[in-house]
């Protein structure tokens, strides 16, 4: 009798950097638990020093928990190094996946290799947010430049060819996408990825958009990630004190 071949390893690893996301991370992990058999190989949550129970909740949900210095670049580089899955899906901890996410991702993985992102969907009503989502969709399609809060799906060999995530405290998403562009088209999954509205609610849509544009402009002109992180997190903490 011929030996029974072992089932093939599932192709997808999900990488989630987290910092004090105990209120939001469980919902994302519950979304991921709806994956059909044979799709999800690893769910890696990389905690950057949370003090609110994020790490314990990740363990309870069955995720593989890693610890890293704070900063998404550090956290994601560690997560990618800890999986041998042929595909990577990068998600922020406050994201919510749409109902058909697994089908869309499986269809993308069956096509010629490329990098993919979701459509940004901010989880709140209002015309300004809808206009912002439209602007992001146009930028992603025409400029080939989706950002981290849209998620990123890509084959691990393309991730390696682009040099992977740099261990930097900010702009890790823009940095990787720019290095991916010579290797592949960045395509859209045509599925909404819902993200928490707290930044826009606390500071206002125009203020957040303007501040982010300033940071991106400074990055392209050579400002250091450490300087930009200080500006980004300093402004965010200042806004929290006055909201």
Residue with more model confidence, 142 or 5: 142
Residue 168, domain member (yes or no): yes
Asked whether residue 1 carries a pLDDT value surpassing 80, the answer given is no
Task: Report percent pLDDT > 70 for the chain.
Answer: 92
Asked whether residue 208 carries a pLDDT value surpassing 80, the answer given is yes
**Confidence class for position 221, pLDDT limits 50, 70, 90:** confident
Based on the fold, state whether residues 115 and 203 are members of the same structural domain: no
Give pLDDT, residue 8: 57
Mean model confidence pLDDT for the chain = 89
Beta carbons of 58 and 30 less than 8 angstroms apart:
no
Residue 215, domain member (yes or no): yes
Residue 62 has a CB neighbour count (10 Å cut-off) of: 10
Residue 227, domain member (yes or no): yes
What is the mean pLDDT of the segment spanning 154-162? 96
Give pLDDT, residue 2: 46
Give pLDDT, residue 76: 97
Give me the DSSP letters along 131-170.
HHHHHHHHHHHHH----GGG-EEEEHHHHHHTT-----SS
Based on the fold, state whether residues 190 and 203 are members of the same structural domain: no
Range of the domain at 46: 12-196
Rounded alpha-carbon distances, angstroms, from residue 76 to 102, 187, 208, 222: 22, 21, 24, 22
Dig out the tokens for 133 from the structure: 């989502």
Domain end marker among 159, 180, 196? 196
Asked whether residue 206 carries a pLDDT value surpassing 60, the answer given is yes
Residue 138, domain member (yes or no): yes
For the chain, the domain total comes to 2
Residue 49, domain member (yes or no): yes
What is the mean pLDDT of the segment spanning 3-28? 83
Based on the fold, state whether residues 217 and 161 are members of the same structural domain: no
Asked whether residue 145 carries a pLDDT value surpassing 70, the answer given is yes
Based on the fold, state whether residues 172 and 226 are members of the same structural domain: no
Residue 35 has phi, psi (to 5 degrees) of -65, 140
Give pLDDT, residue 235: 52
Based on the fold, state whether residues 32 and 116 are members of the same structural domain: yes
Asked whether residue 87 carries a pLDDT value surpassing 50, the answer given is yes
Residue 58 CA, chain-centre distance (Å), reads 17
Give pLDDT, residue 241: 35
Residue 5, domain member (yes or no): no
Quick: pLDDT tens for 23-58: 999 999 999 999 999 999 999 999 999 999 999 999
Based on the fold, state whether residues 188 and 204 are members of the same structural domain: no
**Confidence class for position 72, pLDDT limits 50, 70, 90:** very high
Residue with more model confidence, 216 or 154: 154
Domain end marker among 177, 196, 215? 196
Based on the fold, state whether residues 71 and 183 are members of the same structural domain: yes
Based on the fold, state whether residues 160 and 54 are members of the same structural domain: yes
Give pLDDT, residue 47: 97
Residue 68, domain member (yes or no): yes
Give pLDDT, residue 197: 86
What's the rounded Cα separation, in Å, for the pair 173 and 71? 12
Give pLDDT, residue 200: 83
Residue 207, domain member (yes or no): yes
pTM of the predicted model over 0.75: yes
What's the rounded Cα separation, in Å, for the pair 16 and 155? 16
Based on the fold, state whether residues 207 and 188 are members of the same structural domain: no
Based on the fold, state whether residues 38 and 103 are members of the same structural domain: yes
* Sheet bearing 152-155, strands edge to edge: 64-67, 40-47, 12-18, 87-90, 152-155, 115-122, 186-195, 95-96
Based on the fold, state whether residues 233 and 155 are members of the same structural domain: no
Residue with more model confidence, 235 or 180: 180
Based on the fold, state whether residues 126 and 167 are members of the same structural domain: yes
Domain end marker among 157, 176, 196? 196
């Amino acid at each position: 009798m011929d030996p029974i071949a072992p089932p093939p390893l599932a192709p997808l690893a999900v990488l989630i950097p987290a910092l004090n996301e105990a209120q939001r991370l469980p919902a994302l992990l519950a979304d991921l638990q709806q994956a059909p058999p044979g799709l999800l190989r690893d769910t890696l949550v990389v905690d950057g020093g949370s003090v609110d129970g994020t790490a314990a909740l990740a363990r309870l949900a069955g995720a593989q928990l890693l610890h890293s210095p704070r900063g998404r670049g550090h956290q994601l580089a560690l997560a990618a190094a800890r999986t041998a899955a042929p595909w990577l899906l990068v998600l922020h901890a406050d994201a919510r996946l749409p109902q058909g996410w697994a089908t869309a991702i499986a269809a993308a993985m069956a096509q010629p290799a490329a990098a993919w992102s979701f459509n940004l969907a901010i989880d709140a009503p209002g015309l300004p947010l809808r206009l912002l989502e439209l602007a992001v969709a146009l930028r992603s399609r025409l400029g080939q430049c989706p950002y981290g809060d849209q998620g990123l799906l890509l084959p691990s060999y393309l991730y390696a060819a682009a040099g992977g995530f740099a261990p930097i405290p900010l702009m890790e998403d823009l940095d990787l996408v720019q290095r991916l562009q010579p290797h592949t088209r960045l395509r859209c999954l045509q599925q909404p990825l819902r993200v928490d509205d707290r930044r826009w609610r606390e500071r206002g849509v125009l203020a957040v958009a303007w501040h982010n544009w300033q940071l991106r402009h400074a990055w392209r002109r050579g400002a250091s990630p450490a300087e930009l992180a200080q500006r980004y997190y300093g402004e965010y903490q200042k806004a929290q004190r006055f909201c």
